[in-house]
Amino acid sequence: MNLSEKYFEFEANIIDRLARTPYVHQFVHDKISGRITLFLMVVGTMALINELYITIEMTFLQKDTYEELNKGYIDESLKLHKMIVDDKYHSREYTDEKSGIVIEEFEDRDKFFAKPVHVAHLYVMCNVLQDGKKLLAKPLQFHIEFSPEDYEDEKRPEFGCRLRVLRTKLYHFFKDTELFDELVKDPKNFTVSRGVNIYNTLKEPLPCEIDEVQLCFLKIETGDTIECNFVI
């Protein structure tokens, strides 16, 4: 028995089993429909395995990225992070000089996955400080959500909004509370830059000098709870 005969015998046995398998049997009416069903099942299984592989690969690459970011220091050097400035980590568009057609180039798959995910929302525990002393027995808690409007004008919108957006939101959230009117004697002295001190999940201060850095590079992930001090 040659190879082709062995295959057709094997195929016939599989199709026969499919014809007796619950649910699947309704798609197997003859030899042709059986072959189509078998083909779709094989292709579907291969696609599922491929998706699982890609998902696992993406998870490990993103984990490595966050580990790299968490080991770094929160300072102005973050503005030069390779994922922000290196075009290999981003798709780009250019116009072909000969045809005039706009061509889009995409980054390699490993670089596409090896990027932090933009921050969608945060919980912020806020204390009010005056002369270094806490004025609240229990901190205020704000739930901050970021919509596409907060980062659609970014050069790299896939990384979400900047620290400046979070600082400004917290500033206005606090100013809109009754507590602000009770505690702050001179509202003009309370400013975004001097009055809103933000800390990431590792309790590291995030100074105004890095306000142009996007949140996902500052050791902050979606759903995290971070701290803020309102200095009045």
- For 11-46, what is each residue's pLDDT tens digit? 888 888 888 888 888 888 888 888 888 888 899 999
Q: What is the pTM of this model?
A: 0.72
d(CA 43, CA 37): 10
Q: Cβ(154)–Cβ(162) under 8 Å?
A: yes
Chain length of the chain: 232
- Tell me the pLDDT tens digit for each residue of 168-222: 999 999 999 999 988 888 888 899 999 999 999 999 999 998 998 899 999 999 9
Alpha-carbon span 219 to 85, nearest angstrom: 18
Q: Is 178 helix (H, G, I), strand (E, B) or coil?
A: helix
Among positive and negative, which fits the CA dihedral 157, 160, 163, 167?
positive
Instruction: Give residue 1's pLDDT.
Output: 64
CA distance 30 to 15: 9
Distance from C-alpha of 209 to C-alpha of 193, rounded to nearest angstrom: 10
Band of residue 78 on the pLDDT scale cut at 50, 70, 90: low
pLDDT digits over 107-143, tens only? 777 777 778 889 999 999 999 998 889 998 899 999 9
Q: Which pLDDT does position 3 carry in this prediction?
A: 81
